[in-house]
Amino acid sequence: MKQQKTKGIIGILTGGGDVPGLNPAIRAVTIRALREGYKVIGIRRGWGGLVDMVRDPQADNSAHYYELTEDIVNRAGRTGGTFLHTSRTRASHVPLARVPPHLQDKYKEEINDLTPEILLNLEHIGINYLIPIGGDDTLSYAVRLSREGVKVVAIPKTMDNDVPGTDYCIGFSTCITRTIAMTHDLRTCAGSHERILVLEVFGRYAGFTAMLPTLAGAANRCVIPEYRFSVERLAELLCEDRYTNPSKYSVVLVSEGATYAGEEKMTFQGEEADMFGHKKLGGIGDTISLKLKELTPRFNRGEVINTITQKLGYMVRCGDPDAMDSIVPMAYGNLALDLINKGLHGRLVILKNGRYDNAPVEIITSSKKLVDVQKFYNTDRLRPIYNSFEFMPQMIL
């Protein structure tokens, strides 16, 4: 039997943090592509797989990429995380110590742009279309490759929901669903001990993961990166909330990137930064918790109110996707194939005003997607503004 010629080769990769919904997206792309006559290559560890591969027919590149089949993607397609693995590799800014051994004679700067190698590697694999799934860091490099002539169709992913141009990023729904559920679970501890519950959630520059659960009633107050708040005012409000609560407790959600008045920098776990220049955040919840305890006598008739502090961290990004993070990745994957079938590229698949669409991939680097403080955040009450929701997007913000 004569072997049928493929319509082309599609490469797919996942970069940045893992979130539930990545595997359903990979599955959607692969199933549809294979049935329409394409070959699909899964690139491991995001841009890292393309950085490390060796352009030698005799080289073993199985650790860097491999061909995807229906059997492979069906096994993982309903689970969380990414079976292609992920990294925070930035191919245009590779430190000397991270340059692969086979390229060390060629790239000797402290920071190296390996884009010429990436372009040759994509050509070596035979990639006709590239589908990167990631947040604004991962996809900003996809914009670079698109400008270099690579046929890119990007899919937005990040639990912070901060990729510009789209109302929704894969992982966001599961994140806020888990945040709401865990906050309600921890209420039993706060109520039993009559304390203030301080929960630190993800959100480096954007406060959507703190705002939406608060809008849904999970917390009394939230503090976000977009507004430098007064910790004294927060203590006053939480004491007021506790006093009016029959169970004598109150709850605040703290974005990991939040800062309070008088502090110039975010709270980091250390000084080491990734290739995108981001230091690992963490600890603002503990800092705020200590300051609240110190300040509570001022607003509680001279008596100290103890706190409970919990960093939700990876608990909101692990495990299986919820319904929305199963449905949207399926739609995004099929949207990507629709564009490829039309010969279109340099696009970002999006969800806008309740409808699926696509936008120029350059929108990712053209602006920042942040909470509109004036429109959505009450800076005196340190909580979302509850005004008219008529004609608002599904996720409000």
Distances in Å between the Cα of 269 and the Cα atoms of 257, 266, 279, 281, 282 are 12, 10, 8, 6, 5
- Are 201 and 256 within 8 A, CB to CB? yes
With CA atoms as reference, report the closest residue to 143 among 349, 362, 291, 316.
362
- Are 233 and 382 within 8 A, CB to CB? yes
With CA atoms as reference, report the closest residue to 384 among 246, 198, 276, 223.
223
Which residues are identified as catalytic? Answer: 160
Beta strands 279-281 and 307-311 are unpaired
- DSSP code string of 205-222: S--HHHHHHHHTTS-SEE
Q: How far is 44 from 14, CA to CA, in rounded Å? A: 8
302: which residues sit within 8 A by CB, 6+ positions away?
A: none
Q: How far is 46 from 38, CA to CA, in rounded Å? A: 21
Structure tokens at 27: 């599955």
Largest CA distance in the chain: 87
- Are 257 and 204 within 8 A, CB to CB? yes
β-pair partners for 337: none
Neighbours of 282 (CB within 10 A): 16
Q: How far is 320 from 341, CA to CA, in rounded Å? A: 30
